[in-house]
Structure formats: structure tokens, C-alpha cells
Amino acid sequence: MSLYNDILKGKEKIAVVGLGYVGMPLAVAFAKKVNVIGFDINLKKIDGYKKGIDPTGEVGNKAIKNTLIDFTNDEKKLKDTKFCIVAVPTPVNLDKTPNLEPIISATKIVGRNLKRGSIVVYESTVYPGVTESICIPILEKESGLKCSTEFKVGYSPERINPGDKIHRLENIKKIVSGIDSKSLEEIAHIYKIIIKAGVYKASSIKVAEAAKVAENSQRDINIAFMNELAMVFDKMGICTNEVIEAMQTKWNALSFRPGLVGGHCIGVDPYYFIYEAEKLGYHSQVITIGRKINDGMGAFIANKAIQQMVLSEKIVKKAKVAILGLTFKENCPDIRNSKVIDIIKEFDRYGISLTVVDPYAEPDEVRKVYNIRLSKFEDIKNMDCIIIAVAHKEFCSLTEEKINEMFNPQLVNENKILIDVKGIIDKKLIKKEKYCYWSL
């Protein structure tokens, strides 16, 4: 464990490649204990970090301002480190196949600057086999070094839950793996510098890769089951949330709820498994169906809203609709793979004018990624239909007065359509005001 000791003594540095929702918390945590280089190809992002700005909200501006991380977009600085963590995104293409371009690009950068005796650890979500069959050959080609003898490789799946202030990096057990037993021990000890919950040593890199895909696919399937129940219960005239409350009186009931399933993990990782399974000649059934159900929820919710408008005798195309929330989850600025976009796309098919607000999303990023201009909350006036798409705390605390201010004052309450995707509005308020109310 010479590298571990050299890092603790300040003789060697740790580099984190990719400073987003995964990489930044890692870099900040390590920088409290050892010397860290934070690398990202995005100069604007690097300049922001140097000014103490945290666009992710994961660690906060104060932590960024006070950290000792050496922020850089100069790849040559990676030559100053022997322990490199790659934490770049791994999205999917439009056809739902894995987009490995970010991890391939990052691997080339790391390889060009790799020193003999280094360890490279990947945290990006991939299907089993990517680290050894794709990343290692690139590292060898770019560096001219041989894996196992001249440098080592490991894999440690990220388990960051954006916006979660309870389950943080330091208190989530870390799965670690290495190309051999020596690298495994070294990697485990280095991560223990910051992980209070300890580490779990996987038997191989492929097992560690598979664990990440499996845990998110399992969650995806469970939510898909609840979404399917919600759609059937809707036809039966049964409130899904009331069913869940009754069900949870049993000790072994699972606490999954229906909803939109987006983000950089649960809405993406199952496709990595499906892709690799297809390559091996196996057509995934349960996981594929679960993805199909969850991918269809945005359109389902939009069509339920349109149905409510028709029942309220509104001219759908002329209706004014506001969508509250755009990020993929509550109390978080992350807009990656947001399924609220599917609701918006469905409304676009009908030519319906929309007002979209989100107190957490960054307006310039939303405009750049989705070509949507966010409005201010106070601009929501004279609406026919309000869709609360994300359970932000600001929306959970909406009062009777505030809700009514958003609607067209000429409407009677029975014609004020309130679509409460997550069922966050107080039932007593709904009953009292007699809105035209629907929840998933």
C-alpha cells in the first residue's frame, strides 16, 4: 500500500476527472484529507468553481469556496498524480443504446498523461465488461504502458443520490474492485480515507459494474410496478396513494410510489443492461417492460390532464396550462433526463401553450438543453390547468390562497384543473375547495 501512504503523506495526489454531481463531492471530500486535482474539460465550469460557485448544489458554494482542490482544464496536470478517479456521465443515445463517448474521451485524456505505477478507478455507470474490454485497451494504447504490470485499474460504482442531504457520499458503503488483489487493497484503503461507512470489496471488476446496474434496475422495476397499478387503479376509480397507505400497514410492504422516472441513473442504467444482454443473445423481458412503462408515464399524465380539460368543457388548444417543476427530482437542480419533458412534448402535439416554472433549475441550462424558457412563479396567472410535476418543497407548502391566485378567477373551483402528480397537496384542502383534481 505504498501509494496509499504516499497520498496520505502528501507525496502523491488524487485526480478526479469529471466535476459534476458525482465527481465534485468526491473531490471536495478527498481535498479535506489529501492533495486533489479537479479536472474537467468545461472551462466555464472550472471558472465557476474557482469563484466558489456550485451549480449542482451537492456540496454548496461555501464548501467550494473553501476547498483546496486545484481546479483545472489543463490535462497535463494529470501527470502530477498517480491515483485517478474517472467520474464522467454515461448517458444513452436517442435509440436507448449506451453512449460511451464521454468515458472513452476521458480515458484517452487519462491515458495520455498516465504514469507508471498509477491506479485508474472508474465510477461512471457502465454495463459489465466496459472497464476491461474498452477502457483498459485505450489506456494502454494512449500511455504505451501495460495494465497489471505498469499500471492498475479498478471500478467503484457511484451511489450519489442528488439532492439527498441524509444519504451522503461519506455515509454510503462504497463498493470497490480491482484488476488484481493488490490493486483492490490499495483502492479500498484510499477510499476509506473519506468513506465513514466503509467499503465492500467485490470479487471482480465485472461484479462491481453489474452491482450498480442491478441495484438501479431493481428500483426501476419496482416503480414500474407501482406505475402500472396506478394506471389500472385510475380506471377503477381508486386512489393509488390511499392504497399505498393501507398496504404499508404490513411490516414487509415496500415503500415505492408511482411517478416520473428520469435522472442520470434509474432512467438510464437499465438500458445498459438491456444492451449487453441483447449482445449476448438474451432479450430482457422484465427490465425492458419496466422501462417501457416508466418511459410512458409522461404521456399518460399529459393525456389525463387533457381528459380533465375535455370533461370540464374547455377548448383544449386555447387552454392555459402551467407546469410546476422541471428537474428530474424534488429539491434538486439536476435536469438530466427529466421526464417532465415528456409531459411537455405531449402538450406540444396539441399546440397547447405552456408556462413552466422551477425554483431550482438553471434557466440558461434549461434553454440550452431543452429549448424551454422558464417563467417566474409570480407570472402564473389566469390558468385553466395547473400540473404539479415535481414535489419541490415550495410546491408542497402551497396554500389555498396561492393555488387560487394561479387560476383564472372567472372559473368556478370545479373547473379549476389541478394535476398533482405525486399527491403532495393536502387532501383536506382538495375536499374543501372541490377542485377538478387528479393525482397519479
We report the CATH number of the domain holding residue 276 as 3.40.50.720
Same domain flag for 252 and 288: yes
Say what the alpha-carbon torsion angle 75, 81, 85, 90 is, to the nearest 10 degrees: 10
Active-site positions read 265
**Cβ-based neighbour number of residue 62 at 10 Å:** 10
Same domain flag for 171 and 248: no
In a domain, 129, yes or no: yes
Beta pairing partners, 310: none
Same domain flag for 190 and 246: no
Same domain flag for 203 and 275: no
In a domain, 214, yes or no: no
Tens-place pLDDT, residues 239-248: 999 999 999 9
Same domain flag for 173 and 316: no
Q: What is the mean pLDDT of residues 335-359?
A: 93
- Closest to 375 (Cα-Cα) out of 336, 337, 324: 324
In a domain, 138, yes or no: yes
Q: What is the mean pLDDT of residues 195-200?
A: 94
Q: What is the mean pLDDT of residues 369-383?
A: 93
Q: What is the mean pLDDT of residues 412-440?
A: 90
What is the C-alpha separation between 413 and 406, in angstroms, rounded?
12
pLDDT band at 418 (very low <50, low <70, confident <90, very high): very high
Q: Write down the pLDDT at residue 168.
A: 77
Burial state string for 297-331 with b = 16 or more CB within 10 A and e = fewer than 16: bbebbbebbbebbeebebebeebbbbbbbbbbbbb
**Cβ atoms of 254 and 310 closer than 8 Å:** no
Same domain flag for 247 and 322: yes
pLDDT band at 315 (very low <50, low <70, confident <90, very high): confident
In a domain, 27, yes or no: yes
pLDDT band at 33 (very low <50, low <70, confident <90, very high): very high
- Closest to 324 (Cα-Cα) out of 262, 240, 383: 383
Is the pLDDT score of 147 beyond 60? Answer: yes
Same domain flag for 32 and 96: yes
Percentage of the chain modeled with pLDDT above 70? 99
Q: What is the mean pLDDT of residues 238-264?
A: 92
Indicate the residue type of 121. Answer: V
Tens-place pLDDT, residues 221-237: 999 999 999 999 999 99
In a domain, 263, yes or no: yes
Is the pLDDT score of 144 beyond 70? Answer: yes
In a domain, 118, yes or no: yes
Number of domains in the chain: 2
Same domain flag for 126 and 273: no
Please state the pTM of the whole predicted model. 0.91
**Cβ-based neighbour number of residue 122 at 10 Å:** 30
Same domain flag for 199 and 318: no
Using the Cα atoms of residue 68, residue 69, residue 70 and residue 73 in order, give the sign of their dihedral.
Answer: negative
Burial state string for 167-179 with b = 16 or more CB within 10 A and e = fewer than 16: ebbeebebbbbbb
**Domain region containing 139:** 2-207
In a domain, 215, yes or no: no
Same domain flag for 432 and 332: yes
Same domain flag for 130 and 270: no
Is the pLDDT score of 265 beyond 90? Answer: no
In a domain, 221, yes or no: no
Indicate the residue type of 397. Answer: S
Same domain flag for 153 and 285: no
